[in-house]
Amino acid sequence: GACVDFCYSLNSTNHPNVYFRLLQNSILMRNKDPRIAHAIKGIPHGSTVRLFTDGDYPNLDSLKFFIEIIRDNPQLTFYSYTKSFIYFYQLRRSGVEFPPNYWFNASDGSKYSQGWIEKLKPIPTFRGEFIALSTPIPIPNRNIDPIAWKRGADQLRSVARDRGLGSVFICPGDCRYCL
């Protein structure tokens, strides 16, 4: 889908530092390494933490692992984007309540159908959908070409309106700086 064209995770893994960070984090997660929880304890109170800048919950156990870390850190706010709809649904069906300091968005492009998103909407910490939209021309980085960015952003808002979407967030083109 359209998300492949501008997903920095997919487009940046050819850089060794990004690739090895993703590999390292995957190994730590797979082993439920206690250094993850320890590192999170060092984050200043009141901070907002995005989980999975690259990647997603690979299985139900991984989601459970992070829910416990989130629950143990009520002084922080956590959020993530996910395509792992089935694990959220399974966890909720098992009676687990999602901590109030965790919000998640359903990302476009999942192998699961729109019907799964409908099943997630009743979860109180469901924040909404991230929908990748295509435009006839690419939208450049706002800092490099602000006039072309505005023209592209206006065009994207028009596409969103035509699809019946409400408010939209338009990426300014500076990954990792919008938090």
Q: What is the mean pLDDT of residues 136-154?
A: 81
Mean pLDDT of 143-164: 85
Confidence of residue 9 (pLDDT cuts 50, 70, 90): low
The 3-class secondary structure across 119-147, one letter per residue, is HHCCCCCEEEEECCCCCCCCCCCCCCCHH
CA distances to 60, 78, 86 from 113, in Å: 18, 25, 10
Above 60 in pLDDT, residue 93? Answer: yes
Mean pLDDT over 42-66 rounds to 90
Mean per-residue pLDDT, 100-120: 85
Is residue 179's pLDDT more than 50? no
Q: Residue 176 pLDDT more than 60?
A: no
Say what the pLDDT of residue 164 is: 85
Residue 171: its pLDDT value, please?
65
Q: Nearest to residue 120, comparing CAs of 146, 144, 148, 87?
A: 87
CA distances from 178 to 101, 118, 170, 172 (A): 20, 28, 11, 8
In the predicted model, is pLDDT for residue 178 greater than 80?
no
163 pLDDT higher than 60: yes
pTM of the model: 0.75
Q: Residue 127 pLDDT > 70, yes or no?
A: yes
Query: Is it the case that residue 22 has pLDDT exceeding 80?
Result: no
DSSP lists the bridge partners of residue 103 as: 79
Give the model's pLDDT for residue 139. 76
Number of residues that this document lists for the chain: 179
